[in-house]
Amino acid sequence: MTDWSKRKRLEAAIAGEPTDRTPVALWRHWPGDDQDAEALAAAHLKWQQDYDWDLLKVGPASSFAITDWGVEDRWVGSLEGTREYTRRAIARPSDWTELKPLDPAKGMLAVQIEALRLVGAGVGDSVPFIATIFSPLSQAKNLAGEAQMLAYMRRDPDAFRQGMETMTETTLRYIEAAKATGISGIFYAVQHARYPLLSREEFKTWARPYDLRILESVSDLWCNMVHVHSADIMFDLTADYPAQFINWHDRETDVRLADGLKQIKGAASGGVSRWSLHEESPEKALAEAEEALMQTNGRRLLLGTGCVTMITTPTRNIRALRESVTAH
């Protein structure tokens, strides 16, 4: 009998080979806990202990990468567990040129590296875990605010480009520090591959080159995932990103799992709507999971949601989804 470790199961899914069962994973934000390394690690270790996921995505606040440039934020009750920005760090074009690369051994970056280290120490070699990385363009949005960031990008491209270079350099430094904690890969969040926010040419100019540089830096890791956020996405401009998994809102876009698998090289992550999972009972989510397995024939799939699970999702629904793959 084959001994199916979590890594072996994921690697088989990536390769399109048969597995003992479909791998499954959910992830969520941890408001409040995400400000403290020990609390964040403890939350993830409990999450893993409770549900035995095949992959553990470590989820920091989106502000973690930019806090030390001067942003301020707080959690005010979002169902997603995301935080609201109360102070931005970019107020004029020249602010982009004044950003300096951050040291991952200091400040909030160091807090998150310590959280990864504690998660790694807690799960050992038995559970693959990945670090969340927000794209430089996503970081720029949070530094300045969405509308203002787009205005700077279009009106002051030279200054904006300097900021993008600094954010990319900081991200690369952080990833190198994260590798030392034993991560199996990164979860790379792409939030601007969507209409009408950017044109295709703008995405090719301001997103793809930086994304590819960062993904190249993790080519030595075996379990990288790209998350393509939102509904009206430029899927074709991200489908060739070098990652083992592509995760997108397949239940909220016109790119179904079967359609996406025709365009990507690795495996898909998704199949269930986070809003279906958030309902009072698990029936709808379980029906979507079943249909996802039919779409993919149970191959090249990490079953889960297209984005974060709501922090108020009923635990019986989470448990039902986890148990559904064991039944297969």
Distance, CA of 247 to CA of 2 (rounded, Å): 28
CB 233: neighbour CB atoms within 10 A?
21
Q: Is the Cβ–Cβ distance between 263 and 284 less than 8 Å?
A: no
pLDDT of amino acid 2: 67
Domain total in the chain:
1
Q: Is the Cβ–Cβ distance between 325 and 303 less than 8 Å?
A: yes
Which residues are bridge partners to 309 per DSSP? 28
Q: Residue 196 falls within a domain, yes or no?
A: yes
Contacts of 40-49 with C-beta under 8 Å, sequence gap 24+, read: 40/112, 40/115, 41/114, 41/115, 41/116, 41/118, 41/119, 41/122, 42/118, 44/115, 44/119, 44/122, 44/129, 45/118, 45/119, 45/122, 45/123, 48/123, 48/127
pLDDT tens, residue by residue, 235-249: 999 999 999 999 999
pLDDT along the chain (328 residues), means of 10: 88 97 98 98 98 98 98 97 98 97 98 98 98 98 98 98 98 98 98 97 98 98 98 97 98 97 98 98 98 97 98 98 88
Domain carrying residue 185: 23-327
In 164-274 the beta strands, taken as DSSP E runs, fall at 185-190, 225-228, 245-248, 267-272
Give this prediction's pTM.
0.98
Q: Residue 4 falls within a domain, yes or no?
A: no
3-state helix, strand, coil in the chain (%, to 5): 45, 15, 40
CA atoms within 13 A on the CB side of 43: 20
Task: Specify the residue for token string 């994973």.
Answer: 25
Backbone angles phi, psi at 37, to 5 degrees: -60, -45
Pairing type for strands 56-58 and 129-134 reads parallel
Q: Residue 3 falls within a domain, yes or no?
A: no
| 297 torsion bin: left (phi>0), alpha (psi -120 to 50), beta (else) | left
pLDDT of amino acid 246: 98
Distance, CA of 57 to CA of 226 (rounded, Å): 12
Q: Is the Cβ–Cβ distance between 205 and 164 less than 8 Å?
A: no
Closest among 270, 328, 290 to 261, alpha carbons compared: 270
Q: Residue 214 falls within a domain, yes or no?
A: yes
Q: Residue 12 falls within a domain, yes or no?
A: no
Q: Residue 30 falls within a domain, yes or no?
A: yes
pLDDT of amino acid 328: 59
Residue 226 has which token pair?
């790209």
pLDDT of amino acid 3: 87
Task: Specify the residue for token string 């994304």.
Answer: 211
pLDDT tens, residue by residue, 21-34: 999 999 999 999 99
pLDDT tens, residue by residue, 106-133: 999 999 999 999 999 999 999 999 999 9
Q: Residue 301 falls within a domain, yes or no?
A: yes
- Angstrom CA distances, 244 to 112, 192, 312, stand at 24, 21, 30
Q: Is the Cβ–Cβ distance between 56 and 130 less than 8 Å?
A: yes
Distance, CA of 131 to CA of 187 (rounded, Å): 6
| CATH classification at residue 132 | 3.20.20.210
pLDDT of amino acid 1: 45
Q: Residue 96 falls within a domain, yes or no?
A: yes
